[in-house]
Amino acid sequence: MKKVLLSIVALTGMLSGYSQVLNDDFENWTTNFLYEDPQQWETGNQNTNGTVLTTTKTTDANHGLYAARLETKLAGSDTAFAYVLLGEFGDLGPENGIPYTGGTPDSLIFWAKYDIQVGDSGTCFIASRAGGAQVAMDVFKWIGTNTGSYQRVAFEMTPGVVVDSIIVAFAAGDALNDFAIPGTWLQIDRAQVKNTTGAIFHLPNAGFEAWDSLTNETPDDWYSNNDLIVDTTIFKTTDAHSNVYAAEIKGFESDNGDTIKGFLSNAPFDFNTYWFGKMPYTSRPTQMDFFYKYAPSGSDAAVGQIQLYLEDTLIGDGVFYQPTATSTYTMGTASLNYYDPRTPDSMRIVFTSGENPGSSFLIDLVSISGGTVSIDENNSLLTSVYPNPTSNNLTINFAGKSNKNVDVSIIDLTGRTVDGFSASAGTGFNSLQYDMSSLPNRTYMFVITQGEFKTIKKIVKK
How does DSSP assign 118-143, residue by residue?
A: TT--EEEEEEEEETTEEEEEEEEEE-
User: Which of the pair, 152 or 426, is modelled with greater confidence?
Assistant: 152
> Measured between alpha carbons, how far is 215 from 224 in angstroms, rounded to an integer?
15
* Residue 457 confidence class, pLDDT cut points 50, 70, 90: confident
Q: ∠ CA(46), CA(49), CA(51), 5° rounding?
A: 120
Q: Which domains does the chain have, with CATH numbers?
A: 2-18+378-460 (2.60.40.3080), 35-210 (2.60.120.890), 220-373 (2.60.120.890)
Of 196, 136, 198, 133, the C-alpha closest to 168 is: 136
Per-residue pLDDT band for 191 (boundaries 50, 70, 90) equals very high
Q: What is the mean pLDDT of residues 428-442?
A: 87
> Rg of the Cα trace of the chain?
29
Asked if pLDDT for residue 328 goes beyond 80, the answer is yes
Which letter, b or e, does each residue of 32-59 get, where b requires 16 or more Cβ atoms within 10 Å of its Cβ? eebbbbbebbbbbbbbbbbebbbbbbee
pLDDT band at 227 (very low <50, low <70, confident <90, very high): low
| Listed residue (418, 296, 316) closest to 373, CA to CA | 316
314-321 average pLDDT score: 95
Residues 275 and 309 sit within 8 Å (Cβ to Cβ): no
pLDDT in tens, 19-65: 458 888 899 998 878 889 999 999 988 776 566 889 999 999 999 99
Of 13-22, 94-103, 150-159, 291-300, least confident by mean pLDDT is 13-22
- Give residue 375's pLDDT: 37
- 143-152, 170-179, 198-207, 222-231: which range is least confident on average? 222-231
Higher pLDDT, residue 274 or 113: 113
At residue 13, does pLDDT exceed 70? no
The pLDDT of residue 7? 37
Average pLDDT, integer, range 311-315: 92
Higher pLDDT among residues 20 and 323, named by residue: 323
Report the C-alpha gap between 145 and 64 in whole angstroms.
23
Query: Could you tell me which residues come within 8 angstroms of residue 92 by beta carbon, excluding any fewer than 6 positions away?
Result: none
3-state secondary structure of 226: helix
- Position 163: which residue type? V
pLDDT at residue 93 in the model? 65
Q: Which residue has the higher pLDDT, 296 or 427?
A: 296
Mean pLDDT of 138-147: 95
Structure confidence at residue 86 (pLDDT): 94
Residue 380 predicted with pLDDT over 80: no
The answer to whether residue 372 scores a pLDDT higher than 70 is no
DSSP conformation class of 44: G
Q: Note if the pTM is more than 0.75.
A: no
- Mean pLDDT for 286-301 is 93
Of the candidates 335, 452, 326, 439, the residue with the CA atom closest to the CA atom of residue 400 = 452
Q: Is 378 helix (H, G, I), strand (E, B) or coil?
A: helix
**What one-letter code names the amino acid at 293?**
K
- Indicate the average pLDDT of the chain: 85
* Listed residue (367, 359, 326, 387) closest to 248, CA to CA: 359
How high is the pLDDT of residue 255? 64
Mean pLDDT of 357-378: 76
Instruction: Please tell me what DSSP assigns to residue 238.
Output: S
Higher pLDDT, 225 or 223: 223
Does the structure show a pLDDT above 70 at 92?
no
